[in-house]
Amino acid sequence: MTANQKILENFERHFWLARSMARAIGVNLSDAMAEHRLTSEDYAAMVATCRAGGCHEACQRWLAAQSGPRPDGAPEYCPLRDVLADLM
């Protein structure tokens, strides 16, 4: 695997983690963008924040344990907790 492939794989993991965390708490990021509550720059910053958080394994476990929307928000250790709460 090349360095570029590793970077892309890492980006994709955190893109989907951010999207999945949002969905798990009832936030649709596509709708937020369409409603101009979230810009593409904001979305990119969310993915970068997720990548830097270092909690992807804990987030994956938390997401796997969810059976429906969690209106109480993302777990406290999620670096996107506040921005996702603002989008709720």
With a CB cutoff of 8 Å and minimum separation 6, the contacts of 21 are: 50, 59, 63, 74, 78, 80, 84
- The total number of structural domains that make up the chain: 1
Rounded average pLDDT per 10-residue block, the chain, 88 residues = 59 90 94 96 94 91 87 91 94
Closest CA to 12 of 49, 42, 40, 51: 51
Q: Are 78 and 13 in contact (CB under 8 A)?
A: no
Instruction: Please give the pLDDT value at position 9.
Output: 63
pTM recorded for the entire structure: 0.84
Domain with 40, as residue range(s), is 3-87
Instruction: Please give the pLDDT value at position 34.
Output: 97
Instruction: Please give the pLDDT value at position 72.
Output: 87
Closest CA to 58 of 49, 50, 69, 46: 50
| Rounded distance between C-alpha atoms, residue 39 and residue 55, angstroms | 24
Instruction: Please give the pLDDT value at position 57.
Output: 92
